[in-house]
Structure 1
Amino acid sequence: NYIQRAGRAGRRVDTTAYALTFAQRRSHDLVHFYQPWRMVEGQIQAPYVTLDNEKIIRRHIYATALAMFWSEYRKFYGTVESFYFNEKGSGVDHFQAFLGRQPRKLEEALKRIVPVHMHEVLGISDWSWTKELFEEKNSPMQKARYILESDINEINELIEQLVKKRRYVDNLIRLSQTILSKNIIESMSTSNILPKYGFPVDVVELSLLHHGEEAKRLQLERDLRLALSEYAPSSKVVAGGKIWTSRYIKALPNRAWEKYRYAICEYCHSYHRIREEFVDAGAKFDVCPLCKQPFGRRKKTFLIPAFGFIADTRAPDKPGEKKPERMYSTRVYYSGEADEENCVRINMGYTEVELISASHGKLAVINTGKGKGFKVCHRCGYSALIDEKAASSHKTSMGGECRGTLSGSYSLGHEFETDILRITLNGYRDTREGFWYSLLYAILEGISLALEIDRNDLDGCLYPTAGDRCKPSLILFDDVPGGAGHVKRMSNQKEWLNILKVTLERMEQCECGGKEGNSSCYGCLRNYRNQFCHDVLNRGMVIDFLKTLI
């Protein structure tokens, strides 16, 4: 790509070509600044694609099935209204009946499309894949139907109330028409039914529909993990030349947010959680199962905003000269649950490195609301930071008066499964502050460079496997729900040794902290996600350790 771009300047014979490249102060750019030949030497690793991600495959199954359904029942295609609110009945029911006949043509198509080794896992032959689509309460099709029906019913009820009071209702009528006229493909992509560019899999929306015409063409969506920080209440988002403020955690009638009581152990720093309903029913949640120490005061509650977010009902602001600051960062924790697949042990220096690759590693991402939490109205979803001034009364996202009150101190959370690699240094213990986080983020940078993987596609956290925070395991994971197969590539001795060498080279190239390197910067270890430990990251400790290991 660089050769192509720079080469364009030299095509004209009547001028002298000059290519100037600016490198930002971040790890990726600085590597190529110090080693510019990497951009032109022409050695590129072949792209790596995994075909095992169930969530992505399921979306393609649903897309194939819907395409065949719509080719036969065209009256249900087009808009949200034509599918979910059709005069002939709901398209959901007709689609379910269509699949109930188990069309042979569809089964043959799915067997061609879906990788053979995934047929049994997904239930292609016995059609059990349809249960995931329809039969569960939180299945994507039923969930999408419920959300849309709830929105339309709420709007219609509000219109009736305002008409009786002889109030203005044109804006609500337009809102209803906006929802009903939305393209069905776009709607189903947002609802996690159909595949979408970039393959986000747990998509939620920051709804701007309640702001009328100026927001009509905007569609703000994020994978839920990103949305926890970018769309959390009080966050500001620039879109369509306006600044929109998130204000509501979308609530649905007769549906509750999932809530979990969670704790970060004060002694070993491990993460644990239990459903809040179980605690309310008397279940014990006081002692860490790893180190057997009491949790202490670090118990909190998080709710999962699975239905999305809604922007403030007030008019959006105009952008100024500065971009709105990100208000929150999130933390990722490993639950300790995974299906182990392969184990490799490598003797290195005075320690044994144990590499365990696993699938279905369960992780949680938490937004604590600047450590203080959010107060939430459980009736309409209106939310604000604990220390944020809020009016004694508030309106619903539709503009009606809400009788609910703000209460609680909630974090926002989301759980997902992905491929992981657990790295344990058997026999090694280090009590220095920041050492383990420094080693973790250094190795992630090394992997990104050695395997040519986008750094944003990987992340990691620490997990005290033995209940000791001074000798934790490093948990590396694909930052894609369901997994992308990246971390599985590292669980062999040859690849691992190369990664460590590249990591050491990268840490030695940086100049922060002088010769000793007793510091860190955005060029070596720091990034937006690990802000919580910026003050303790130290590339010098990593350099010294890797020199004894390699």
Structure 2
Amino acid sequence: MLDRLLYKGVLPRYAFPTDVATFYVFDPANSRQGFPTFRFTPSQGLAVALSQYAPGKEVWIANKRYTSGALYSPIKGERSRAWHQKRLYYECRNCRYARTQPLAQGHRGEKLDCPACGAREAFGEARYWVRPPGFAHPVSWDEDTSPDDQPARSYATRAKLEAPAPPENAAWTMVTGRVRRHFMRETLLVTNSGPRQEGYTYCTTCGRIEPTAAHGGELSGPHRKPFPDDRDPGCPGGRVAKGICLGMDFITDILLLSLRLDYPVRLAPGFLPTEIALRTLAEALASAACEVLGLEPGEIQADFRAALTEGGQNGYEAEIYLYDTLPGGAGFSRLAGERAGEVVERALEILSRCDCDVSCYKCLRSFKNKFEHDRLDRHIGADLLRYLLHDTRPVVTQARADHACATLAEDLRRQGGASLTVETGATIDVPTIGPVTVPILVSGPGGHRRAVCITHPLTATTPSDAGLKALGELTPIPLDPVHEIKVRRSLPWVTRGVLTALGF
């Protein structure tokens, strides 16, 4: 009963920390049969332990290096109970929406259509999902391990919201004409899918575990037990589950923000510009909420997903959710929702006040988002937020457009050679429009010509200049809109696409 009340947040979990995982280092010299003792037992919150103590990870204690290689609990039956309570885990390979469900409602390896982005058979393959009771350094392993022997590292996901948004007739509150908010208490999901998303190989008999991506796995055959056992130190193996995920779920306070867009602005699920724009906006909103409420950074965090609607699948509706990181919630997200107007305006200030090129530690970067620094771009985030606040269409800045044009034109000249003519700033007469300046005009063999223009990542297929749009519609010269991020990050691919279209 107490565990249930704590899990549901009826009792304050910060006073009774239950989501704690321990890393056990055995003391074999002082262990007796059935009564192991430990040299060290450091603990972390389970959400952190899923990364810090993940199988294969190094853990430094007292100037010595230990390696996580087992799931373990000193409480009899707890590890077995965790395995029997396993669930099925589904994650979309396109948009990364995720959820778990009981074994009776699906089967391992099942693929479904994603309920968020709509991608066919992208939701899965379903895997076993286990909440680890604790981790351990196998007693037979040496304290020092060569770094060359370490497998690829893995990290837990951000907390993912499983629950669908409330229906249209629910108590939504408008923040702006394009942003509405709703407060809820729901379950968030944190999962570690192992290196290269291949999961972990787990011996259900003794608890040994290793990344499935590791070379030379030994768990399918006889191996040593991870805990002290003088009578029978060996495990026969044979009862091995491959590709499992480790995770946890928790209930907390959540502020759900629904973002609505219209053509030509789109946030298509699974595309890099969408991820950059929403990741940037989520980080800015979380920082803004902490500033407005006078909280320590990190007491509110945020993530995003495609809305579980037809508009979400088509890129015209997305959701950002802010949540309390304190166990069971502390009401911070509700307060942030009550002051949503201030939070949104402060987020725009955070994105606009810095003088960095893309992002830095003064505006968006932190240790917590260190693996996502390449997904933060304050200019794109600010453009999206201005659109949501003031209905201002995102337009790529002249400086960025000029730099992208110069970079692409130079690469086209280099790759195309003498048979390719590349002009920048050429003027073409368009019927009913008049002279139109073309950023890049490319002429290939046989007199074939193509025009290339730089677009904003959020309006990737539609140039902001009406003359350029008419060029592609009213003249025989095809127009290739290329968004600025694609030039910056995938220049060879863009160049090859233009050359291929010209017959190179």
TM-score, scaled to structure 1: 0.56
- The alignment of Structure 1 onto Structure 2 pairs a total of residues equal to 351
Letter in 1 for 2:247: G
Question: Per-residue deviation at 1:263?
Answer: 2.3
1:395 to 195, 200, 224: 224
- In structure 1, what is the Cα distance between the partners aligned to 2:24 and 2:66? 10
Q: Kindly provide the amino acid, as one letter, of the partner of residue 242 in structure 1.
A: K
Q: CA offsets per residue over residues 300-324 of structure 1, 9 Å max, x none?
A: 4143234211222146636999xx9
476, 479, 490: which one aligns with 2:336: 490
The one-letter amino acid of 1:227's match is A
* Cα RMSD for the two superposed structures: 3.7
Q: How far apart, CA to CA, are the structure 1 residues paired with 2:144 and 2:329? A: 39
Classify 1:281/1:412 alpha carbon distance in 2 versus 1 (closer, same or farther; 3 Å): closer
**Contact 2:23 / 2:137 at 8 angstroms: preserved in 1?**
yes
Using a 3 Å threshold, how does the CA distance of structure 1 residues 409 and 487 change in structure 2: closer, same or farther? same
The residue that corresponds to 1:540 in the other structure is 379
Partner of 2:106 in structure 1? 279
CA contact (8 A) 2:70 2:207 kept: yes
After superposition, the C-alpha distances for 1:404-423 in whole angstroms (9 at most, x for unaligned) are 14441122111111110000
Counterparts in 2 of 1:421 and 1:228: CA distance versus 1, 3 Å:
same
Counterparts of 1:404 and 1:212 in 2: how far apart (Å)?
26
Query: How do 1:323-402 and structure 2 match up within 5 A?
Result: 327-331=153-157, 332-336=159-163, 343-347=172-176, 351-359=177-185, 361-370=186-195, 371-388=197-214, 389-391=216-218, 392-399=221-228, 400-402=233-235
Report the counterpart of residue 442 of structure 2 in structure 1.
none
Amino acid at match of 2:190: V
After superposition, the Cα gap between the structure-2 partners of 1:241 and 1:265, relative to the gap in structure 1 and judged at 3 Å, is closer
Aligned-pair CA distance for 1:363: 1.1
Indicate conservation of the 8 Å contact 1:242/1:319, yes or no: no
**Identical columns (%):** 23
Give yes or no for contact 2:24–2:136 (8 Å, CA) kept in 1.
yes
Q: Deviations over 1:291-346 (max 9, x none)?
A: 5543337424143234211222146636999xx99933211211025899964212
| Equivalent residue for 1:501, pick from 345, 365, 374 | 345
2:260 matches 1:426:
yes
Supply the AA of the counterpart residue of 1:480: L
Number of the residue aligned with 2:292: 450
Supply the distance in 1 between the matched residues of 2:303 and 2:325 (Cα, whole angstroms).
Answer: 12
TM-aligned CA deviation for residue 523 of structure 1: 3.7
Deviation at 1:56, TM superposition (A): 11
| Counterpart residue type for residue 410 of structure 1 | I
Specify the SS of the correspondent of 1:422. Answer: strand
| Post-superposition CA distance 1:368-405 (Å, at most 9, x none) | 11222111111111111123233453211224100114
Query: Does residue 416 of the first structure (1) align with residue 250 of the second (2)?
Result: yes
Q: For residue 264 of structure 1, what is the aligned residue in structure 2? A: 91
With over 3 angstroms needed to count, the CA separation of the structure-2 counterparts of 1:328 and 1:426, relative to structure 1, is same
Aligned AA (1:372): E
1:206–1:221 contact (8 Å) kept in structure 2 = yes
Q: Give the whole-Å Cα distance in 2 for the aligned partners of 1:451 and 1:423.
A: 18
Tell me the distance in 1 between the aligned counterparts of 2:50 and 2:144. Answer: 24
**Separation (CA, whole Å) in 2 of partners of 1:288 and 1:235:** 32
Partner Cα distance (2:179, 2:60) in 1: 46
Corresponding position of 2:354: 510
Cα gap change, 1:196/1:520 in structure 2, threshold over 3 Å: closer, same or farther? closer
Q: What is the CA distance between 1:237 and its match in structure 2?
A: 1.4
- The whole-number CA distance in structure 2 between the counterparts of 1:472 and 1:487 is 19
Contact 1:241 1:318 in 2 (8 A): no
For 1:312, the equivalent position in structure 2 comes to 138
Find the partner of 1:201 among 18, 29, 32. 18
Q: Residue 301 of structure 1 is aligned with which of 105, 115, 127?
A: 127
* Structure 1 portions without partners, runs of 5+: 1-53, 60-117, 123-193, 514-518
Secondary structure of 2:179's aligned partner: strand
Q: Deviation per CA, 1:187-236: give whole Å up to 9, x if none.
A: xxxxxxx9877x53312221223455698463311222111111111111
> How far has the Cα of 1:355 moved from its partner?
1.1
Question: Residue 99 of structure 2 contacts residue 189 of structure 2 at CA under 8 Å; is this kept in 1?
Answer: no
Pick closer, same or farther for the CA change 1:310–1:358 going to 2, 3 Å: same
Name the structure 1 match of 2:270.
none
Normalised TM-score (structure 2):
0.60
Amino acid at match of 2:321: I
SS in 2 for 1:455: coil
- Tell me by how many angstroms 1:459 deviates: 1.7
Gaps of 5+ in 2: 32-36, 268-272, 391-504
CA separation of 1:304 and 1:480: change in aligned 2, threshold 3 A: farther
1:53-452 paired onto structure 2 within 5 Å: 200-212=17-29, 216=38, 218-250=40-72, 252=77, 255-257=81-83, 258-266=85-93, 269-280=96-107, 286-290=112-116, 293-296=119-122, 298-314=124-140, 317=143, 327-331=153-157, 332-336=159-163, 343-347=172-176, 351-359=177-185, 361-370=186-195, 371-388=197-214, 389-391=216-218, 392-399=221-228, 400-405=233-238, 406-427=240-261, 429-431=265-267, 432-433=273-274, 434-452=276-294
